[in-house]
Structure 1
C-alpha cells in the first residue's frame, strides 16, 4: 500500500490542501514501498483516489455481494414436493388444535393414525412399524422467561417406532408438535409437555441415543440448524455428511443460547431431562405470520417442505446405522465450529482445532505488526504512537456513531414512530444505515483534515487498526470459549493475505470477497430472525433501539477495512452530502408517519398482534370473603407501539383505560399465560360485563398442616378447563420451601412470584398439589397469596358476545387473538 509511517518517519513537509488537490490522480492502486523506497504498482509517491470513482465502486461492490446472497438464499429445490406435502395441508385444515380440545386430542390424532396405518400397508417386510398412544401426567421446572413450572395431565402423544423385524437396541428420535396455539391453524406451541412426558415416562425412551427436533420461528425458506450437542461433535459431522441441503450456523446457536431471543424449544427437555444429544432445526423466514391466522399451509413453499424432508430423512438413515449411535455418550468431547459457506456447503471442525488456529493467527497478526515495530527506535516509537492514536480515534468514531444513531432511534421511539421499518425493512437501512455510514465518514474526514497533515500516507495506518481490533476480538472470544470466534478469523486471514499479495484496488476487493460475503449472509440470517421478533417482543424494549444497535454494529464490521480508503480518498464531500440527503428525507418521512408499520397485503401480511382476554376477576380476603370484583377485556398490544395505531379506529381503546399493576397481587393481578409481565407492562383494561363459563374453575383448600420441621403445609385441589395458570406470592417474612411440583424445589420468577402452568388432555381428574411455607416473623395478613386464572381456549366458552363484537371491529392489518378467562385471588 502507501509508504509506512514507520519507514518514512513522522516529519515531512506539510502541503496545503490546495497543493494536494492539484495532484493528478492515476488509476487507483494499493502499492507498497520496497526497501529501496520505490513504489511497487504505482509511481514514486502515493496519489489520492478520486471520490467519483471510489464511492460508486464500493457501493457497487456491496450491492453485488447483496445480490449474491439473495441468489443463494433462493436456492430451494425445484419441482413438486410430492404427496407428502398434503399431510400438512390436511392437518392444518382441522383448524386450531389446542391441547385438550377435541380437534387436537381426537381429530388430529385420528388423522395421524390413519396416515401411519396407510404407510404401514405400503412398507416392506424388512421393517416393523409399532404405534403407541401415550397420555402421560407429570411436572417439571425450567429457567424459561425468568422461571416457569409446568404440570400436565393426560395429554396425548402419538409415538411411532420403525425398526428392523428382528428389533433394535438403540434408536434415533424425530420430534415435532401437531398441536397449535389458540385461534390459529399454525403448527407449533412451545409448552414442552409432550416431550417431557415422553422422555421421562415412555418405555421406548430408554433406547434413544440421539434426536432431531423440528421447530419453527417462521413459515418457510431453508430450515436452519441453530442448536446441536451439547458437546457431541459427531452429530454435526453426521449432519454435514448426511443432509442433502445443509444450512447451519454456530453463531445462531450461541446467539439463541445466550437468551437474547426470548424463546426455547424441546431441545432443552431432551437435553436436560433425557441427557440425550441432538440437533434443533427451524424454519426462520417470514416470522411475521408465525402463530397468526395467516400461518397456513399454503404459505409454505413445497420446495421448503421437500428440502426439510430430504435433510431429516438423510440424517435419520445415517444416524440409525451409525456405529457411534450405540455409544453416543463416549463421543461427548467438546464443541464444534460449523458454518454455512457461501450458500454451497457447511464446514465443520472441532472447537479445539479452532482454538489452535485462532492463537496461531493471532501470533501471525502480531508478527505482521511487530515487523513495523522492530525498526530503529525513533521510527518504532513514532509508529506505535501513531497506531495507538489511530486505534483510539477509531474506537471513538465507533462510540460517537453508536451514540448518534441511538439518539435518532430514541427520538423516533418517543414521538411514536417505532417500527416504521417493520413492513418496509429498507427504511431501517435508509434511516439508521445512512446515519451510521455518514457519521463514520464525517468523523474520519474531520480527522484527516484537522488531526493529520499528510493524509495520503495514512491509509496503511488505518489498515493496521482493524487488524489490531479483530485480533483483540479473536483473542477475547477464544478465551471465552465461543465458537463464533471463527468470524474474526475470516476478518484477519483474508485481509492480510490480500494486502500482502495484491496491489490494485479492484483485485483487492475481489480478495476480500469471502469475508464480506459471509458477514452479509450472516447478517441476513440475524435480521431475518430478529426483525419479526420485534413485533412480539413486548412493550418495554424500544425495537428501534435494538435494530439501530444491530445496524451500527453491522456498519462498523463492514467498514473496518474500508476506513483506510477514506484516508486515500481525495474528497468525501459528495458522499457525505448524498448520505445526509437520503437520511434527512427518510427521517422526515418517518416522522411524518408515511411508513405505516403493519400490512394486510394478502401475499405478504405483516399484522400487528393483539391479545384480548375477557376476564372476570375476584379478590378474596384472608377469611375467604369477597373483597372486590370487576370484569373487562384485558388488552395486550405485544409490541412497543401498544394500541396507539388502534385508537383512531376504536376510540374507546385509549390511555384512559390503561391498566394499573396491582402491587400486592401476583403478576400484577392479571391472568398471564406465561410470566412475561416484565416485558408487557403496558396493557389496557376495557370495562365489560361478567363472564360465566359453563365449566368454571373450582379451587379448594383441602388441608392445612403444621409440619414437624416448623413449616406449614397447604394442600389444594383444582379443577376446570384444560389450561389454568397459578401464581404464588409468599408474603414478607415467609419462604416457599418446597412443593409437590417439578423436582420439589420451587423456581421463582422475576419479582419473587412463582408461576405454574397447568394443562390437561380431553379428560383428567382434579389436580392436587401442596406447598410448604416457613415463617420467620409474626404475620397479620396471612402467609401467602395465590391467584388462579382459567383460560378457555376453545369450545363454546372461548368467546363472549362482547369479545366477538370488539374483535370484529379491529382493522384488517391486525391479528386479534381473544378468549374468555377468569381470575380468582385467595389469601391464606
Structure 2
C-alpha cells in the first residue's frame, strides 16, 4: 500500500519509530520510514513470532528496499548534510516537485508531480463555481443566479451536516456504551467496532435528508426542475460535489501530500451524475434503476475507499493497544471515541458520495429505525465480549526498580506496574487476582488512592516512558540483590573539571555499568545549564519539556556491562547539573519471574530490572 498521504496521516497515528527520532530529533538525516500496517496486536510482544509474518511480506519489503537504495544511490540529487544546508533554494524547489501518488488495490500506481496536482486538484472547485453561471445562462428567467448559488450553498451545508452527524453519532454511542461496559471491548474482535459504529454513522448521514423531507412535507414545498430531476436533489448533489471540491483544494493549499481521495470522489461523482441523468431520461426519475446506474459508476471508487478506509480503521484499532494511557477521566473514553470517530470518517468516505442521490430511497423511517435498533443491539452484544485474547494481548509493563546511591548501596526497591491502554491496573487486578494477591493488593484497591510511580522512574524506557501515565508502585524486597551483583551502575568524575574564560565549565565523567549481565540500554536524563557535551556534534538536541518539570536532555547509550563510558558535559554557569542514570537490565530475579508468570495468557508482560541513581556536578 503506497500513499503520499501517509506522510500526513503518520504523525497523528499513535506511536513513533526509532528512525524518526534518530533522523529528526538527534540529526538531520533524510531517509525512508517503513512500517507494517497490520499485525499491530502482537508487534513488539512475545507473541510476535515468525509464523505470524504474512507470507511474502518480508520478500516484498526486501525488494522494495533494494529498489529504493538503487534509486537513492544513483540519484544526482543525493547530497550530504552540509550540501543540503547550502542549497536551500534547491531544497525548496524539490519540495514544490514532491509527487502525489497512490496505488489502486495494489494493482497499479498512479503518480503525478505536485505542479500537475495544482491543476487537477483545483478543477473541481473551478467547475463548482462556474456551474451556477452556466445554469443561469441556460435559462435566466427561470433560474436566478443568486437562487442557484444559494441552492448550491445549502447543498454544501446539507452534506457537511450529514458528514458531521456521521461522526458525532458513533462518538455519542461509544460514550454511552462506556457507562455500562469496559473500554475497548472491540479490541480483540475488530468486527465489533464496525458493526457498532457503521450503522449509527449511516444513520447520521441520513438525518439531514429525513429532516428536510419532513419539513418539505409539512410546508408543501414544490419547486421547479432544472435538469429533469428534482431541484432539491440536484442542489444536494452539487452541494456534495462542492464540499469535496473545496476539501481537495484546501488539502492542496495546506501543503499536504494527499488530496487524491477527494479528487477521485469528485471525478467519480461527475461520471455517476452523467450516468444518472441519462438513466432518468430512459427509466424516469422514480425508477430504482436510475440511482443504480449512479452507484455502478462509483464502484471503482467504492472498492478503493473500502480498501483504504478499512486498512486505516484496522490500523488504528490495533494501535489502541499501545497508544498510551491518558490519565482519567479522559483516558477512559479516548480509545473508544477515537475508533468511533475514525470509523465514522471512513464510513463518510465510502458512503458520502452515494448519499446525495440515494438518500431519497434510504432516508425512510423504517430504515432509520432498523439502523438505530441494530446499533443498540450491537452495543449490548459487544459489552459481553472480553477486550483481550492471546492474539490481541493487553500490554503490561512490570519494572523491578532498584534505587542506589552508586557503587553497591541500595536505598529502595519496588515493583512499578503500568498499562498503556484505556483499561487501568484495576482491570488487571480484577481479572488476575493472583497478581493482586502477590502484590498484597486488596479487593478495595483504587488507582486514585494507590502510590503512583514518579515519571522519572520510567526513564529507562524513554521514549515509551512518555505514554506511561497509569501506573502504580508496590513494595518489593531487595534481599538477594547484593548476592547477585557485586557492583551497581555509578557515575563519577575521573579528572578535575575545566573552567573556561567565558564562565562555562566542563565536567569530565566516567560511567561504569557495574556487574550487570544483560543490559539493553542506559539512559541519562540531564537537567541544568547544559550547553554542550562530547557526543555527536557536541550540541545537545532540543530538550524534553515535561509538564511541571525543568527542561531535560535525554542521552541513550548502548554497550556491554564491562564497558566504561568517558565523556564530558559542559555547563554555562556554576549552577549544578543533575544527572539521573537509569540502566535497564533484562535479567530478572526469581521473585520477579514468579510474579510475571502469574499474569493471565491474555496479557503480554514486558518485565525487566531498572537501576536508578542520581548525581549532582
Would you say same fold, with TM above 0.5?
Answer: yes
Shift of 1:550: 0.7
Deviates more, 1:534-543 or 1:440-449: 440-449
Higher helix fraction (1 or 2): 2
Q: Is the 8 A contact 2:397 2:607 kept in 1?
A: yes
Structure 1 residue 567, shift from structure 2 partner? 5.1
1:809 corresponds to: 598
Q: 1:773 to 1:328 in 2, by over 3 A?
A: closer
CA RMSD of aligned residues (A): 3.2
The corresponding residue for 2:477 is 689
- Name 1:791's counterpart in structure 2: 584
Distance (Å, rounded) in 2 between the aligned partners of 1:414 and 1:726: 43
SS at match of 1:749: coil
Q: Give 1:754 shift.
A: 2.1
Q: Which of these residues, 191, 195, 217, is aligned with residue 430 of structure 1?
A: 195
Q: Please tell me whether the aligned partners of residues 504 and 570 of structure 2 are also in contact (alpha carbons under 8 angstroms).
A: no
More off after superposition, 403-412 vs 337-346: 403-412
Question: Within 5 Å, which residues of 2 pair with 1:321-332?
Answer: 324-325=74-75, 328=78
2:300 aligned to 503, 514, 523, which one?
A: 514
Judged with a 3 Å threshold, the aligned counterparts in structure 2 of structure 1 residues 744 and 305 are, in CA distance, closer, same or farther, namely: closer
Quote the Cα distance in structure 1 between the aligned partners of 2:100 and 2:313.
22
Partners in 1 of 2:452 and 2:66 — Cα distance?
52
TM-superposed CA distance for 1:335, in Å, is 0.9
* 1:485-517, Cα deviation, whole Å (9 max, x unpaired): 111210111211221244332221111112222
Does the 8 A contact of 2:161 with 2:208 survive in 1?
no
1:587 and 2:379 are equivalent in the alignment: yes
1:376 counterpart residue number: 140
Q: Distance in 1 between matches of 2:584 and 2:77?
A: 45
User: Residue 569 of structure 1: SS of its match in structure 2?
Assistant: helix
What residue is the counterpart of 1:293 in the other structure? 46
1:244 maps to none
Change (3 A) 1:548 1:285: same
Q: 1:824 to 1:278 in 2, by over 3 A?
A: closer
Deviation track 1:416-470 (CA, whole Å, cap 9, x = no partner) reads 6211111111111122222221123234312221257448642111111111111
Q: Does 1:756 pair with 2:555?
A: yes
Residue 366 of structure 1: how far off its partner (Å):
2.7
User: 2:465 & 2:523 partners in 1: Cα distance?
Assistant: 14
**Tell me, what secondary structure is at the counterpart of 2:427?**
coil
Q: Which consecutive residues of structure 1, in runs of 5 or more, have no partner in the other structure?
A: 1-246, 776-781
Structure 2 Cα separation of the partners of residues 701 and 643 of structure 1? 41
The alpha-carbon deviation at position 789 of structure 1 amounts to 1.1
Query: Which piece of structure 1 moves more, 286-295 or 382-391?
Result: 382-391
Map 1:462-541; keep pairs closer than 5 Å: 462-502=236-276, 503=279, 504-540=290-326
> Is the 2:401–2:610 contact (alpha carbons within 8 Å) kept by the matching residues of 1?
yes
Matches within 5 A, 1:673-684: 673-684=461-472
After TM superposition, list the pairs within 5 Å mapping 1:596-745 onto structure 2: 596-600=386-390, 605-618=391-404, 629-648=411-430, 649-650=432-433, 651-652=436-437, 654-655=445-446, 658-660=450-452, 662=454, 667-690=455-478, 691-692=481-482, 694=485, 695-702=487-494, 703-720=496-513, 721=516, 722=519, 723-730=521-528, 735-745=529-539
Q: Distance in 2 between matches of 1:444 and 1:438?
A: 11
Alpha-carbon distance in structure 2 between the residues aligned to 1:713 and 1:553: 55
Q: Is the 8 A contact 2:491 2:615 kept in 1?
A: no
**Hey, what does 2:8 align to over in structure 1?**
254
Q: 1:266 to 1:437 in 2, by over 3 A?
A: same
Deviation at 1:369, TM superposition (A): 4.2
Distance 1:740 1:412, change over 3 A: farther
Q: 1: CA distance between counterparts of 2:67 and 2:249?
A: 37
Q: Is the 8 A contact 2:404 2:412 kept in 1?
A: yes
Aligned twin of 2:348:
556
CA distance 1:497–1:311, change in 2 (3 Å): same
C-alpha separation between the residues in 2 aligned to 1:490 and 1:289?
35
Does structure 2 conserve the Cα–Cα contact (< 8 Å) formed by 1:673 and 1:757? Answer: no
Q: Check the 8 A contact 1:538/1:638 in 2, yes or no.
A: yes
Unaligned runs of 5+ in 2: 80-89, 223-229, 280-289
Residues 482, 799 of structure 1: alpha-carbon distance in 2 compared, 3 angstrom cutoff: same
Q: How many Å apart are 1:758 and its aligned residue?
A: 1.4
Task: State the secondary structure of the residue aligned to 1:617.
Answer: strand
SS in structure 1 of the partner of residue 615 of structure 2: strand
Q: What is the aligned residue count?
A: 549
Work out whether residues 671 and 821 of structure 1, in 8 Å CA contact, stay in contact via their aligned partners in 2.
no
